[in-house]
Amino acid sequence: MIPVNKPYLPAFDKYTHYLERVYQRAWLTNNGPLVQELKVRLEEYLGVKNLLLVANGTLAMQLAYKVFNLKGNAVTTPFTFIATSSSLAWEGIAPNFADINAESYNLCPHHAEKAIDDYTTAIVPVHVYGNPCDVDAFQALSAKKDLKVIYDAAHAFGVNVNGTSVLNYGDASTLSFHATKVFHTVEGGAVIFKNSDDYERALLMTNFGIDTKTMNINDSGINTKMSEVHAAMGLAVLDDIDNIISHRKALFVEYCAQLKDIVTQPSWHNQSTLNGAYMPVTFSSKEECTAVLKGLADSGIIARRYFNPSINTIEHYRMQKFARCEVSESYAERTLCLPLYFDMNDNEVHAVVTGVKKALYADSI
């Protein structure tokens, strides 16, 4: 069987090397030495400042919303994993959906501007599949409308745009370090803040609002801390990250070469790098997509409708006025993510592509 994804596992002795340090200190959580080391190394590797490690990517988004005291609604994309919308709704912020760009699959700045109303306090775009949004357009829109921009960058680890980390755009960017991501800590995440004052406030919030230097409680807070055991996995994976990204990019390029003129793919930002996070493909119809999904499954190959459904069609997440997002709704029915993970090889890529062609051209074979 070829799964749609498979977590990267570093060499066991490399992981236990870090775990030995945890056992020696018996320091398991509360901003331990490995968490501190991982923060420093990630800031250096990614080319960012004010990176705050947390327990998972959803908490990363919720923490960012709390720091900026968001209210009302936030303009966001319906073509994303449900966590983007559910984290907003959980904090009492209504997801205000705007349609996506038909080429990039990302939130369209033009549609986003039209969706802004008197109750909008932020824009929450997503770098879908690791493909950077039109960050310059959103930066201009933020200045024009005086709105915060928080990027869901869960897929964009290690991606650069315009010669800098994509995480340096917006008032904050959030990362997921879930086991299936390019870089992971089994469970984990991070928030990167533009301003150090926002970072310092968020740091207090991650520990119930307690200032550990004075033991005063100066703000509301919650427990979002990453443990030393999770940081140990992150450090072990980070040791291998260049090799991981290089191989995933090579698989992505091989897929693109073999699928040329057969499927549609997102147009990547022309000033960005790749990280090989996902292999999205879009078919000409819902029926074609369903046939390929079933045909691959019959051959022991697992693909995933990622993302389906378009979140604006889910009744629980609709605002009072239903927002039609025709491009997102269409793409959600016609898009699959094909298997892509570090342990794959070119022969497996060829097997997946053969399965796609067989399902599409069964009548002519």
pLDDT digits (tens, 9 = 90+) for 203-235: 999 988 787 778 788 778 889 999 999 999 999
Say yes or no: 169 and 24 in one domain.
yes
**What angle is formed at CA 178 by the lines to CA 355 and CA 201, rounded to 5 degrees?**
145
Q: Name the domain boundary from 239, 272, 298.
A: 239
**293 contacts 303 by C-beta, under 8 angstroms:** yes
CB atoms within 10 A of CB 43: 16
Say yes or no: 206 and 278 in one domain.
no
Number of domains in the chain: 2
Say yes or no: 231 and 309 in one domain.
no
Say yes or no: 176 and 223 in one domain.
yes
Say yes or no: 257 and 226 in one domain.
no
pTM: 0.96
Say yes or no: 259 and 171 in one domain.
no
Say yes or no: 231 and 253 in one domain.
no
pLDDT over 90 at 121, yes or no: yes
CA distances (Å), origin 8, targets 123, 151, 252, 307: 33, 25, 17, 23
Identify the pLDDT of residue 92: 95
**251 contacts 344 by C-beta, under 8 angstroms:** yes
Say yes or no: 58 and 35 in one domain.
yes
Q: Who contacts 173 (Cβ-Cβ below 8 Å, separation ≥6)?
A: 150, 151, 153, 156, 166, 167, 191, 192
Q: Which residues are catalytic?
A: 181
Say yes or no: 293 and 357 in one domain.
yes
Tell me whether residue 2 is in a domain: no
Say yes or no: 193 and 259 in one domain.
no
HSE, side-chain direction, 13 A CA sphere, residue 7:
14
- For residue range 62-93, list pLDDT tens digits in order: 999 999 999 999 999 999 999 999 999 999 99
Identify the pLDDT of residue 364: 47
C-alpha 98 chain-centroid distance? 19
Closest Cα to residue 203, out of 14, 6, 8, 31?
31
Q: Name the domain boundary from 239, 266, 287.
A: 239
CB atoms within 10 A of CB 13: 8
Identify the pLDDT of residue 304: 97
**What angle is formed at CA 123 by the lines to CA 120 and CA 125, rounded to 5 degrees?**
150
Q: What percent of the chain has pLDDT over 90?
A: 91
Domain span holding position 272? 241-364
Give CA–CA dist 281/318, Å, rounded.
27
- For residue range 239-268, list pLDDT tens digits in order: 999 999 999 999 999 999 999 999 999 999
Average pLDDT, the chain: 95
- Residue range 177-199: average pLDDT? 98
Which CATH number covers residue 355? 3.90.1150.10
Which CATH number covers residue 231? 3.40.640.10
Tally of residues, the chain: 365
CA distances (Å), origin 284, targets 75, 91, 281: 29, 38, 10
Tell me whether residue 4 is in a domain: no
Say yes or no: 266 and 199 in one domain.
no
Q: Who contacts 226 (Cβ-Cβ below 8 Å, separation ≥6)?
A: 29, 35, 38, 53, 54, 55, 185, 188
